[in-house]
Structure 1
C-alpha cells in the first residue's frame, strides 16, 4: 500500500508529490498522458505540430499521436484548451504568476468588498495563504518578467489612462505592472541576440526571447532540464518530486507512471466514514488494468477530468455540486494595428498586465501567426463588418465586435504581425451552478468510460460577470488606442477554456461546495483535490497557477498533519531551495 496516490501531473499534482516526498512518504503519481523526457528531440516550434488539438504533441491524448485525442462534448460554441502529459497545461502556459486579489478571501473588509462574488469566497483569509504564495514564488522561482518593445507600448497606453504603476506583489488598486512570472531571466547572450549559434547554454541562460512559449519550452539549447527558461512543472516541480532524496533530508523520490489513465476511485467504510482506499488505472499502451491502494488519494487531473472520474466512480454527490460552478475568466481578445512594429510576438509571451481589482485584468500577449489568426477568428458575434446593422457589442473599437476573416485577416497577417498589439481580457466571473461538467448523454463513451460534457453558457452569465467583461474590454481598447494604434478590433471570444477553475470548489458551506477548507472532500475522507478545480472562485481575475500551487502546498501540509502525524513546515524558518542551486531565500525576507 502506498502512502499517497496523486492522480495527474499538471500544475498541482507535482507540488503535492514534491512536498510529501520530501517528508519521506511513499508517493505514486499517475499521469494519463506522456512524459516528454527530451523535448529537444521530440518537439518542434511548428505551430501545427505542437498545437493541433487532434494530433499535436501538446494535445489532450495518449503518447501515441496516431491514436485519437480524448473526446469532450461541447454543446455550445466553445473550445477546451487542455494538455495531457507531465506538466499538463503548464507546458503551454506563459508562466504568469500574479497573486490573487485579497477581495476573494473571507477576511476581506475593503471598501470594494461587495463588488466581488461574496457568496463564494475562500473559506479562510488571504493572510493564511500568504506564506504558501511566498513559498511557491521562491521555489519556482518567480521574478519580474523580462520585457521588450511590446511591453513598453502597452505601458504607454496604460499611462494614457492615468493608471499608476503597481510596486508590490499584492495588488489592491487599479494599476499596471510588469508580470510576475516563472520564466528565468535572460543572462549572457540570451535576449541580446537573434543569432541561434550564440543562444546555447551556458553562454546563454534563461529566456532567449524566441517567442514560442505556447509550443512548450526547450531553450536555451544544451541547458539541463531544470534550467529551461519557462518553469512549467515538468521543468520545476516534477524534477524535484522525482529526486526528493537528493535535496531534502529524509526525503524519498516519488514514483511516476505515465500513460496511466485512472478510471475509478475506490472507497470503503472505515469507522463509520466513507474513506478513499485507492484507484484503478488503465495502461494506454497495453490496455491492461491495475489496482493501487493508498492511505490518501489526491485528484489533480483538472477541472474536466476530476468531475468525470468522480461521477464515473459512483462516489457520493449529496449536494449535486460535483462539476458545478466552473469559472473561466470569460476571456476576450482586443487587438490594435500600428503603423510601426511594436515587437509582437518577440520575447516572453506575456510580460505586462493591468489590474482592476473586483473586475479582472488585462494582459499584453504575443503569439505566433497561426495562434494569432485563431484568436482573431474565434467569436460569438459573427463576422466583423459583414452584417448591415452589426451583431457584436459596440464601444471604443472600430465597428461592432466580431471575428476577422477574409481579406481583412489576410491584410493583418501578411507582414503586419509585428505591428499588432494584442490584449487578453481576464474577467472576474461569478461562480454559477449552470456552468458545469457532467457525464455526457451520448450513447458511446471512450475506452475509459462515459465522456465529460462541458456546459459554459457565454450569454447566460450573471449581470456582474457581463458588466466586468464589458468594462475590461473597453479599458483594453482605450489602452491600445492610447498607445497609438490606428485601428482597434474587439473579437468577443466565445468561451475559450484556458483558465478553467472551481468545478470541485472548496467553500465554507456544505450547500455549494465539494471540499472543506483543507481541500478534503466532504463526502469521502482521505480524498483531496489539488488543482484549479479546488479554487473557491475566479480569484478576481488573476491567472490561477500561483494560487493553485500555493493551495496545493497548503493541502500537502494538511495531509501530512492529519494522516501521517506530521508537523507544519511552511511556517518554519527554513530556507526554500529553488530549482536554481544558486538561489536560497528565507520566507521572512520576501514580504508583501
Structure 2
C-alpha cells in the first residue's frame, strides 16, 4: 500500500503536520515509537515516581510495556536527558508555555541589539513572514494568557524592582515581564474556585482546575472529552483533530495512527524518499509501507539517529550537529510567606531579556522540588566544588543541597519557596552533537550517543547564563527572599533543538527553508531538531509547531498541488470544536 505522506513521530511536531495535511484530504500515516495513553484518567496518577521515573515511569522514553527496559541513549557527560516517548511526546509533561521566539533570531533583523544574538545561525526568513504561522497555531491550540496565582503575584513583585516594563504584546522587543502565553484552557465554571472533586467535573468545570500537577500529565476536568482537557499537549489538541479530520474539514481524511512501533529505516530510490520500515515493539514483527513524502518528526535525538541508521547521505557532516539545550539553571529564594508554589499552573509568569534568554517562575511537587536542589555541576555545598563552586550575589557558593541543609530548606515549607529557572539563549556549535553509540544496538538499530560539553560552551552562552542568574537573584531579593540559593545545574536537556537544523547556507544546515532535506528529496523534517537556533531562549514548542505548519504548506503545494492555506491567522478549526468531541466518542477515542 502507498500513502500520500508518512509522518514519523507523534510528539510536538508530527501531529501538526498530520492534522494540516489530513485536513486537505491527503492519506496520512503517523507512526509513534511509544504508547498512546488512550485512557489517561485510568493509566496515569499523581505519584511522582510512577509518572517520572526514567526507567519505568509512564513518562519515559520506552515501549508501552513498562516491564521492558527504557530505550537506551548514551549520555557520557554529567547531566540528564529528560524527554518522553508516546503520543504527545514531551508535550505530555510540559508546562504549556508558548511564547514566540525573539525576532533577533530571524534573518533580516536589524534592531539595536542585533549583535547580542547568534548571528551565524539565523532562521532563513524574516520574523514578519513567520507571524501568520504563530497566529495559526495560537488559534488552533488555543493559546491564552495564563491565570495568575499567589506565586505569580510575588514573582511580579520582584520584577517591579528590575527597572523593566510590563510587556503587552506577543512580540518581545526588549527586556520586560508578563504573564505566560500558554496552551492551557482557562478555568471555567467551578474550576479554580474549589478543590471539591465532585464539582471539578465536566461540564460543571471546564479548563484548568489549578491542581498543580502539570508535570504528571493532564486528565482534567474529570469526564471531559479528550480534546477539552485543559493542557493542550498534542495528545489533547492536534492528535484528536488529526484522527477526526473527516468530521470537521470539508474533504478531510482521518489520519491512521500506529503506536508502540519504532521506525528503523527510511527507504530511498534515486535520491528520493520512498517509504519507511518499522518494528512492532510488542511482537517484533517488521513492516514496510511506501509514501510519496516522508516527514521525520522523531525529535532532536531520534531524527539524526534514524538518518544514520538509514544510511542516508551527509555531505556537509551537519546531521546531528549543532545540539542546543538552553543550558538551564535553577535559583530559588526562601520566603517568610506562603507563595503557593505547589498550587495552580506550574509556570504562569516570565521575564524576557532578548539577546540573553528568559526567566520563568516554576512551582513543583515535593519530589521534583527536591530533585532541583540536588542536581548540580558545582558539587555539594561545603563538601566539594567540582572545580566550580561559583560565588556571586546569591548566598554561599553554588552547589547542590544535601543532608541537614536540604532538610532545613524542605522543612521551611514547599509553599514558602519561590523558584526561578534561567532559560539561556544557547549557541549552535558543531561539536555538540548526536551520533551513533558504540554500545550494543537495540531492536531498532544502533542507539544514539548525545555528546556535548557542559563547561565548553561558547563565551556568549556563558555570558547569557551568568547574566540571567544575577537577574534571578535580583528578582528574588526584590520579591522579599530572605535567602537565595543558586544550584548551577549540569545539562538538563528539556528544550532540545537544532541537530537537523534549517539554515541559510547549505554548508551548515540539513534542510532548506521549506523544511525539505538538502540531501534527500521528498524527505522533510518537522520537529525541534529543525530549529536553526535556540530561538533566543523562549520555550521552543510553539515555534516548532508554527514551523511544522509552514513546512506542511510547502509539502502540499510542491508535491500535491494544494494551494497554501495560512493567510490571515484564522485556523481551519480550533481544538475545542464540538464536532471533534462527538466523533471521538463515536470512535471510542
> What is the TM-score when the length of structure 2 is the normalising length?
0.97
Query: In the alignment, is the contact (CA less than 8 A) between 1:385 and 1:399 conserved in 2?
Result: no
1:229-378 alignment runs, 5 A limit: 229-269=230-270, 274-378=271-375
The alpha-carbon deviation at position 195 of structure 1 amounts to: 2.1
Give the Cα separation in 2 of the matches to 1:61 and 1:351.
30
Task: Call closer, same or farther: CA 1:389–1:216 in 2, change over 3 Å.
Answer: closer
**Residues 44-79 of structure 1: CA deviation (Å, up to 9, x unaligned):** 110000000000001100000000000010110011
Q: In structure 1, which of residues 524, 527, 532 is the aligned counterpart of residue 520 of structure 2? A: 524
Query: 1:484 aligned to 2:485?
Result: no
Where 2:198 maps in the other structure, the secondary structure is helix
2:583: which partner in 1?
none
Q: Is the 8 A contact 2:102 2:171 kept in 1?
A: yes
Q: Which runs of 4+ in 1 moved over 3 A?
A: 387-391, 572-576
Preserved contact between residue 211 and residue 346 of structure 1 (Cα < 8 Å): yes
Task: Report how far residue 391 of structure 1 moved.
Answer: 3.5
- Describe the superposition over 1:323-354 as per-residue Cα deviations: whole angstroms up to 9, x where unpaired: 00011001000011011210002110111000
Deviates more, 1:341-350 or 1:406-415: 406-415
**1:164-211: CA deviation from partner (whole Å, max 9, x where unpaired):** 100000100000000000000001111111222221111111111110
Mapping for residues 145-544 of structure 1, pairs under 5 Å: 145-269=146-270, 274-387=271-384, 391-414=388-411, 416-442=413-439, 444-544=440-540
Q: 1:301 to 1:195 in 2, by over 3 A?
A: same
Q: 2:95 maps to which residue?
A: 94
Worse overlay, 185-194 or 281-290? 185-194
Partner of 2:109: 108
Secondary structure, aligned partner of 2:545 = helix
Alpha carbons 1:390, 1:400 under 8 Å: kept: no
Alpha-carbon distance between aligned partners in 1 of 2:562 and 2:58, rounded to the nearest angstrom: 40
Question: SS in structure 2 opposite 1:396?
Answer: coil
Tell me the SS of whatever aligns to 2:277. strand
CA shift for structure 1 position 393: 1.7
Aligned-residue offset at 1:575: 5.4
Which whole-Å deviations, capped at 9, do the CAs of 1:62-116 have from their partners, x for residues lacking one? Answer: 0000000000101100111110000000000000000000000001000111110
Return the alpha-carbon distance in structure 2 between the equivalents of residues 554 and 391 of structure 1. 44
Alpha-carbon displacement from aligned partner over 1:205-242 (angstroms, at most 9, x marks no partner): 11111100000000111111111100000000000001
Q: Secondary structure at the match of 1:422?
A: strand
1:16-55 matched pairs, under 5 angstroms: 16-55=17-56
Q: How far is 1:572 from its partner?
A: 5.6
- Separation (CA, whole Å) in 2 of partners of 1:155 and 1:384: 29
Tell me the distance in 2 between the aligned counterparts of 1:415 and 1:4.
55
Q: Which runs of 5+ in 1 are unaligned?
A: 584-592
What RMSD in Å do the two structures reach over aligned CA positions? Answer: 1.3
